[in-house]
């Protein structure tokens, strides 16, 4: 499994040290919240730029923002490798957002909230590199895993082979060893974990436990 630690619950007063505590994971998950699409506000592209000065991991940026089309370039220029936007947040055209991301030469991710029907993503599947299934209501870390995510992952896994698509299936929210195993068995490729990793002193070990679920 690919592990993407979400440092949402990290100590931002010593961010470089916190990021250095997860260097054994190939990816790092940035949770960007604007206080509009979700109630909380976290950080903007300047954090991506800061972290890029001391990390060469894959920057997996999760935009929980209204009208993501307005900020894509900021995150691409700051060093994002994967930019995931929310289907529900686009005010113009989802296809236009996808093409804009391709023009910016970043990998394209699309995500949806737990209450949004997965079938709505079908038209976009051949054009994206990653689908992020939210297994919690976006907006904060430390929530309990929503089992309804399993059915969505299984649907995506089936569609992926039916349509001969290559997208990765990423799952985000309430991931630990047991929920990680559940979603892996359903077809997931990437696990986002925040509290499971950052609540531990030995983060390397927490990441290894998830890699081998």
- What residues are labeled active site? 31, 172
Q: Indicate the residue whose CB is closest to ligand DX5.
A: 194
Alpha-carbon distance of 84 to 107, in angstroms, equals: 8
Q: Look at residue 76 and give its three-state secondary structure.
A: helix
**Least gap, CB of 204 to Zn ion (angstroms):** 21
Per partner kind, with CB cut-offs from 5 to 8 A, the member of ligand DX5, Zn ion, none near residue 23 is none
**Least gap, CB of 161 to Zn ion (angstroms):** 26
Q: Which residues bind ligand DX5 (CB under 6 A)?
A: 6, 8, 29, 31, 62, 64, 136, 138-143, 172-175, 192-196
- DSSP character for 105? T
Sequence-distant (≥ 6) Cβ neighbours of residue 173 within 8 angstroms: 134, 135, 136, 137, 138, 143, 145, 146, 149, 192
Per partner kind, with CB cut-offs from 5 to 8 A, the member of Zn ion, ligand DX5, none near residue 193 is ligand DX5
What CA–CA distances, in Å, run from 106 to 15, 31, 49, 175, 179? 25, 17, 15, 26, 29
Q: Cα 211 to chain center, whole Å?
A: 16
Per partner kind, with CB cut-offs from 5 to 8 A, the member of ligand DX5, Zn ion, none near residue 79 is none
**Least gap, CB of 62 to Zn ion (angstroms):** 4
Alpha-carbon distance of 137 to 118, in angstroms, equals: 15
157 in Cβ contact with 125 (< 8 Å):
no
Per partner kind, with CB cut-offs from 5 to 8 A, the member of Zn ion, ligand DX5, none near residue 139 is ligand DX5
**Least gap, CB of 29 to Zn ion (angstroms):** 6
């Amino acid at each position: 499994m690919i592990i993407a630690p979400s440092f949402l619950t990290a100590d931002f007063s010593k961010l470089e040290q916190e990021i250095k505590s997860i260097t054994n994971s190939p990816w790092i998950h940035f949770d960007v919240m604007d206080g509009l699409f979700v109630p909380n506000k976290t950080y903007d592209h300047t954090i991506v730029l800061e972290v890029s000065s001391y990390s060469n991991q894959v920057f997996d940026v999760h935009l929980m923002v209204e009208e993501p089309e307005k900020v894509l370039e900021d995150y691409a220029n700051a060093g994002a490798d994967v930019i995931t936007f929310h289907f529900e947040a686009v005010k113009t055209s989802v296809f236009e957002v996808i093409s804009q991301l391709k023009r910016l030469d970043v990998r394209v991710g699309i995500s949806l909230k737990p209450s949004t029907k997965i079938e709505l993503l079908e038209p976009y599947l051949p054009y994206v590199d990653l689908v992020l299934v939210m297994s919690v209501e976006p907006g904060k870390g430390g929530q309990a895993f929503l089992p309804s995510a399993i059915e969505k992952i299984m649907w995506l896994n089936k569609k992926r082979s039916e349509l001969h698509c290559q997208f990765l299936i990423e799952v985000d929210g309430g991931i630990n060893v047991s929920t990680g195993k559940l979603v892996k068995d359903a077809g997931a490729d990437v696990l986002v974990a925040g509290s499971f990793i950052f609540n531990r002193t030995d983060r390397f070990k927490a990441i290894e436990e998830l890699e081998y679920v």
